[in-house]
Amino acid sequence: MSTPTSPQTDPSILLIDGHSMAYRAYHALPPEKFSTATGQTTNAVFGFVSMLLTALDAEAPTHIVVAFDRGRPQFRLDQHPGYKAGRAKTPPDFHGQVELIEDVLAALRIPVVGLEAVEADDVLATLARLAEEAGVEARIASGDKDAFQLVRPGVTVLYPRKGMTDLVRMTPEAVEEKYGVTPAQYRGHAALVGEKADNLPGVPGVGPKTAAKWLTTYGDLDGILENADDIKGKAGENLRAHVDDVARNYRLNRLLDDVELPLGIADAVRREPDREALGTLFDQLEFAVLGRRVEAVLGAGEGTDVAAAEVPEPVRVDSGSLRHELDAVRATDWVAVATDAAYVLGQGTVDHLALAAGDRVSLIDLTDLDAPATDALSAFLTDHPRLVAHDAKPQLKALWDAGFTGAHADWDTQLAGYLIEPDKRSHDLGDLASTHLGGALPDAPDDAPAADVAARAWAIAQLRPVLAEQLDAHGATGIMEQIEVPVLDILARMETRGIAVDRDRLDALGGEFREQADASAQAAYAAIGHEVNLGSPKQLQEVLFDELDMPKTKKTKTGYTTDAAALADLFARTEHPFLQHLLAHRDRTKLSQTVVGLEKTLADDGRIHTTYLQTVAATGRLSSKDPNLQNIPVRTEAGRRIREVFVPGAGADALLTADYSQIEMRIMAHLSGDPSLISAFLAGEDLHAFVGAQVFGVQTADVTPEMRAKVKAMSYGLVYGLSAYGLAQQLAIGVDEARGLMDGYFARFGAVRDYLSTVVEEARSRGYTETMDGRRRYLPALQSDRRQMREMAERAALNAPIQGSAADIMKTAMIRVDGAMREADLGSRALLQVHDEIIVELMPDEHEAVTDIVRREMAGAASLTVPLDVNVGIGSSWQDAAH
């Protein structure tokens, strides 16, 4: 498609009637199918944006403006106070969507015009005239038929049909075809027929056909009115009786093409979108598919493809020239490294490696290097103190696999992007280049994939100083260098090592769960007399609510929930055995699936190698995938049996688990400075019993298990921004009782309440929250005037400093533990991290030393006003090591 900045031989302007198109979208798309997690309806936004993309794609305009109605149409109201009266009130969820559309347009850098007292179509009519005078083709996208009067050579109206992406091109010929009148006659046509939506009645009994016939006979409306007396029949009679109405309609439906505008055609030149803002916005709107369409339509910075234009031709390096090349880049400050590392069948491969420093880019074909050159490169990757990569972790693993065992990274542009914008879903190099370099990466030519490696290295080299400066501005340089980079290396080693699994035991367990699941399914079928897919919520709803006529549960988007809590509740009411078997089946299939997932990822070396993601959790936590080892069951007896299959591997003789005790509550005590909470931790008492005693006004010894459970739920809930309603829901108690509990809590721990409200207010005024180590999370939604979004952001603001500080502490602990074990020359290594717990594989004779190290280094990872207690256990399996 055409590029916004390149000169065009055929300039054209796309003029969009914002309100009419948004309104059409609102009614064209079912709102229930377009709503975000926060409950925001987005059907109008979605429809508008897809229409916009379609039009941009099809018309490739060089200029664009969107006009919105604001205030009231003064000129028409003056003449006809009833103008647009009686129109259905705009639905409440429409207005907010117009704001969102304006947000999208701002991110796309599309100029928006909204004038008090002037309707959008008058603005468009004026712009169409200006365009014509400037020799610019105009395309008007409008759902308002009045626009048809503007059609002429050089001015086309795009009128939406049914779906939003089907735009009919109304040229002069198309208008004649459809209405039997010329565009110039269209106003008269509309005046005769009338417009219900605008409360402008026409001549009774005169429809499009008659109006067209009269207009062709008499030329225009004046001609008709002059000859009104000659027109026969009922229609003629009606016309004579309604001449005033028709004249009024004609005056009112004229679009003004001479309103004063704040911009001209030259100001409407298309500009590069703000991709960063657009990404954030589309994330919020949950427009994943549309986001990709934007890229397809707008191109990833096509036309300003700085990277493509400027990336220097790489120097091809061979064994003979390698040393010289390494010396050349060694003399520079930072050196960017990129590879084509990939994993195939659990084995890392890497064929090409590119280095970039300043404007010099060199490309090395690793498969072509002789042994001395390989050694030289290996030494370089080991010793150079300023290597920067993008998403270094998988590349390091591949390089280690390929024999470059000392390869390391000192900086990572992906981590930098993450620290700057932790809420973003992905941090592709291409995205960073678009955002910070003003142009996208060139596509890799199919015939020369290695050229892409060179371009990536070059982009990384350009990005490092830019991102380093931003990191500084965000106060995140320390976190990058002291925490994230060292952790990246440790994670790479943990992943490479993996954790050993007793395969036979895992298989046996899977069979056992499968059998139990099948038995439960059979029992469930028997209870209702037929088979049904127990995994289908839809079919379950039919059974429960239609067939068995049970009371309806809480609504979901597509029906009524069949989740475990609802099923348990239904069982309490109906005691229908089907429910019990269904719940048991759910339970067992879940466990069976977990086992299958583990079996699938169990590598030939008898170990499972998860992948930790360091740049996805907005709070600073890690996540784990393929498989996720951070959600292995632990709460039920059967679930814990899965933990028994994780065992020490060859050479090791035990596993050690070490976890922080109530780290989030301790951080809460520290950050709030609440004296009661602090003294509870200092006294080393059972926290929940202590809090229970305070809240219920009894001795600690008299706190019942029920009281303890309630207080525990509340304490943790507070960290997440729990409401009285939510607490009531969870504890199955009344909202009043829940509120009483919370009041009692805050009466005793007042500093906690103060802290929580301060956190939110500070975040609101500064724009971000901060962990103890200064890791920020930006929450612009705190300013939102949409309550639901704002409250969600407020809860995130409550939680982020606490969850994030815990994450920082754990990362620091991992670095300290790893360092201490190496320092002591121990062979034991950490294998897994589960947020507040690490799992270490113990070598013989190292149990005591590692236990000491882990205790000391974890407890010492932060200094709080309360102690950081660490529980340690050793055993023959993950389960056995639990304490």
Partner DNA sequence: TAGGGAGCGA
Partner DNA sequence: ACGTCGCTCCCTAC
Give yes or no for residue 443 binding DNA (CB under 7 A): no
| SS3 assignment, position 388 | strand
Question: How crowded is the C-beta side of 57, counted as CA atoms within 13 Å?
Answer: 15
User: CB of residue 504 vs DNA: minimum separation in angstroms?
Assistant: 21
User: CB of residue 617 vs DNA: minimum separation in angstroms?
Assistant: 4
| Window of 48-56, 253-261, 348-356, 531-539 that interacts with DNA by CB under 7 A | 531-539
| Window of 67-75, 383-391, 479-487, 834-842 that interacts with DNA by CB under 7 A | 834-842
**For DNA, which is the closer residue by CB, 157 or 567?**
567
User: CB of residue 488 vs DNA: minimum separation in angstroms?
Assistant: 16
User: CB of residue 595 vs DNA: minimum separation in angstroms?
Assistant: 10
User: CB of residue 129 vs DNA: minimum separation in angstroms?
Assistant: 41
By DSSP bridging, strand 360-365 and strand 315-317 are: parallel
Amino acid at 358: G
**For DNA, which is the closer residue by CB, 347 or 536?**
536
Q: Where are the alpha helices (DSSP H) in 299-356?
A: 306-310, 322-330
One symbol per residue from 542 to 561: x for binding DNA (CB under 7 A), - otherwise; what is it?
--------------xxxx-x
Site for DNA in 696-755 (CB under 7 A): 713, 716-717, 719-723, 725-726, 729-730
| Window of 125-133, 256-264, 625-633, 671-679 that interacts with DNA by CB under 7 A | 625-633
Q: 370: Cβ–Cβ under 8 A, 6 or more apart, which residues? A: 319
β-bridge mates for residue 412, sequence order = 389
**For DNA, which is the closer residue by CB, 306 or 618?**
618
In the list 201, 299, 537, 873, the residue contacting DNA (rule: CB under 7 A) is 537
User: CB of residue 221 vs DNA: minimum separation in angstroms?
Assistant: 46
| Window of 42-50, 125-133, 620-628, 864-872 that interacts with DNA by CB under 7 A | 620-628
133's enclosing H/E stretch is helix 120-133
Q: Where are the alpha helices (DSSP H) in 644-734?
A: 663-672, 675-683, 687-696, 705-719, 724-731
**For DNA, which is the closer residue by CB, 351 or 773?**
773
Give yes or no for residue 603 binding DNA (CB under 7 A): no
Give yes or no for residue 232 binding DNA (CB under 7 A): no
Site for DNA in 277-336 (CB under 7 A): 286, 288-289
In the list 6, 405, 522, 536, the residue contacting DNA (rule: CB under 7 A) is 536
Retrieve residue 608's tokens.
């499972």
In whole angstroms, what is the distance from residue 191 CA to residue 206 CA? 11
The DSSP letter of residue 786 is: S
| Window of 297-305, 334-342, 497-505, 784-792 that interacts with DNA by CB under 7 A | 784-792
* 750 burial via Cβ count (<10 Å: 0-12, 13-18, 19+): middle
Give yes or no for residue 634 binding DNA (CB under 7 A): yes
In whole angstroms, what is the distance from residue 883 CA to residue 874 CA? 8
Taking a C-beta distance cutoff of 8 angstroms, is the pair 705, 692 a contact?
no
**For DNA, which is the closer residue by CB, 143 or 627?**
627
In whole angstroms, what is the distance from residue 489 CA to residue 146 CA? 65
In whole angstroms, what is the distance from residue 402 CA to residue 396 CA? 10
Sign of CA dihedral 417, 431, 397, 875: positive
In whole angstroms, what is the distance from residue 412 CA to residue 704 CA? 52
In the list 91, 606, 633, 649, the residue contacting DNA (rule: CB under 7 A) is 633
- 437 φ/ψ angles, rounded to the nearest 5 degrees: -110, -5
**For DNA, which is the closer residue by CB, 393 or 621?**
621
User: CB of residue 39 vs DNA: minimum separation in angstroms?
Assistant: 5
In whole angstroms, what is the distance from residue 482 CA to residue 835 CA? 19
Taking a C-beta distance cutoff of 8 angstroms, is the pair 409, 489 a contact?
yes
Give yes or no for residue 274 binding DNA (CB under 7 A): no
| Window of 18-26, 95-103, 628-636, 699-707 that interacts with DNA by CB under 7 A | 628-636
**For DNA, which is the closer residue by CB, 395 or 614?**
614
Site for DNA in 836-865 (CB under 7 A): 836-837
Site for DNA in 66-125 (CB under 7 A): none
Q: 24: Cβ–Cβ under 8 A, 6 or more apart, which residues? A: 47, 143, 160, 164
**For DNA, which is the closer residue by CB, 470 or 601?**
601
Identify the CA nearest to 348 among candidates 309, 405, 401, 393. Answer: 401
In the list 95, 234, 324, 538, the residue contacting DNA (rule: CB under 7 A) is 538
Give yes or no for residue 795 binding DNA (CB under 7 A): yes
In the list 89, 162, 232, 635, the residue contacting DNA (rule: CB under 7 A) is 635
In the list 256, 613, 820, 859, the residue contacting DNA (rule: CB under 7 A) is 613
**For DNA, which is the closer residue by CB, 61 or 279?**
279
In whole angstroms, what is the distance from residue 449 CA to residue 537 CA? 46
Retrieve residue 275's tokens.
């991709």
Which single residue is written with the structure tokens 């059998």? 515
In whole angstroms, what is the distance from residue 498 CA to residue 607 CA? 6
654's enclosing H/E stretch is strand 654-660
Retrieve residue 415's tokens.
């981590």
Site for DNA in 642-661 (CB under 7 A): 659
User: CB of residue 713 vs DNA: minimum separation in angstroms?
Assistant: 6
Site for DNA in 559-578 (CB under 7 A): 559, 561-565, 567
Give yes or no for residue 602 binding DNA (CB under 7 A): no
Give yes or no for residue 590 binding DNA (CB under 7 A): yes
